[in-house]
Structure 1
């Protein structure tokens, strides 16, 4: 992803909220594209929790940045995705874990993951402490 002109503050550092946006864009791409390549499609999901570590600043010259997405855990109705943000030199600048919950839009509550969703997510499963 390219670092956009409006992503940085007056100090030339990418705003922390933009890190989260980069992670969201990568996660959406993963769910829409990568899972489709393994014959799965994610249904409606909501983010239940997100934790982000800002390790090094990104600047206007850091891009394009790369966001790697892996799956850390798959439960009955939720799963955890890890996002690792690296700059154009391969330096890890941030890391964030998001817990997503499968969501039934009509009933407005959680739902179990489908077998196809589970199989697609488990293909990208990396044990905690790895990656």
Structure 2
């Protein structure tokens, strides 16, 4: 039986300046919340295997806005998990919940491992695959 998958979680404070004229957190700011959580996830995962996170770039990203977040929401929780792990790419799922546990937004980011010097994609290293694999959903028994 395989070990259950992990889900990374962090809290992000909703800032007064994040709101639009309607009093809702602007959609672009919600995407920034996803972008704030992602490097924290990658750094913590790399630290867990005593390595530095390798470079990766966003190839594609989508977001779904399900429920308003307001300036009075306080702190939101962003969870990050891995939904796909390929040879040189991986897809991260982000979910934002308010203080009451309501899902307010979600988004997927297709990430590509990147060789900064050659300016092109590269295969994921074994330590990267090991860390990311811990956040993949456990396979269902056949």
* TM-score tier (shorter): over 0.9
Report the TM-score when normalising by structure 1: 0.93
Q: Which runs of 4+ in 1 moved over 2 A?
A: 38-42
TM-score normalised by structure 2 residue count: 0.86
CA RMSD of aligned residues (A): 1.4
- Specify the alignment match of 1:95 in structure 2: 106
2:66 maps to 1:59: no
Report the counterpart of residue 107 of structure 1 in structure 2: 118
Q: Which runs of 5+ in 2 are unaligned?
A: 1-11
Alignment of 1:10 onto 2:28: no
Secondary structure, counterpart of 2:104 in structure 1: strand
Q: Does 1:73 align with 2:84?
A: yes
Q: How does 1:37-56 map to 2 (within 5 A)?
A: 37-56=48-67
Structure 1 residue 63: Cα displacement = 2.3
Give the total of aligned pairs: 128
Contact in 1 for aligned 2:49/2:127 (Cα 8 Å): no
User: Structure 1: any 5+ residue segments left out of the alignment?
Assistant: none
Between the aligned partners of 2:77 and 2:28, the Cα distance in structure 1 is: 16
Q: Any idea what SS the aligned residue of 1:57 has?
A: coil
Does the residue aligned with 1:82 lie in a helix, a strand or coil? strand
